[in-house]
Amino acid sequence: MEIIDYLGKLLRSNSMYIAIGIVATTITIYGVYLKRFVKNTTKNMNFFFRFIIYVFVFAFVVGFFSAQAVNLLDNLSTGLSNLHLVLGVVLVFALLSLLAKNEKQI
């Protein structure tokens, strides 16, 4: 049980970095679909407008939502016990690795 408490304290002190890792990995796996959607939606537009929309979507929208998701995950992790935090982090990263393998990212 001391190992779980030690790992829980270690993860809790780095919870912001763990949240960033989860969000960044999710964006890496599924960002291709968003890029494809924006490309297909704007393919009949002028290059300048396509560029502006692309920059807006990826710089502002994805940036805003990823920042909010990091804050949400960080705040959610504060209410968990050490055991639940360790299990949750391990399971989330295991799930993300399986999703990346299914999406041919690995």
**Is residue 83 within 8 Å of 8, Cβ to Cβ?**
yes
Number of H helices, E strands in the chain: 5, 0
Query: In whole angstroms, what is the distance from residue 53 CA to residue 95 CA?
Result: 32
Give the residue among 32, 12, 3, 2 at the shortest CA–CA distance from 88.
12
Instruction: Write down the pLDDT at residue 102.
Output: 87
pTM: 0.86
Instruction: Write down the pLDDT at residue 105.
Output: 63
pLDDT tens track, the chain, 106 positions: 899 999 999 999 999 999 999 999 999 998 889 999 999 999 999 999 999 999 999 889 899 999 999 999 999 998 899 999 999 999 999 999 999 888 776 6
Tokens encoding 78: 């504060």
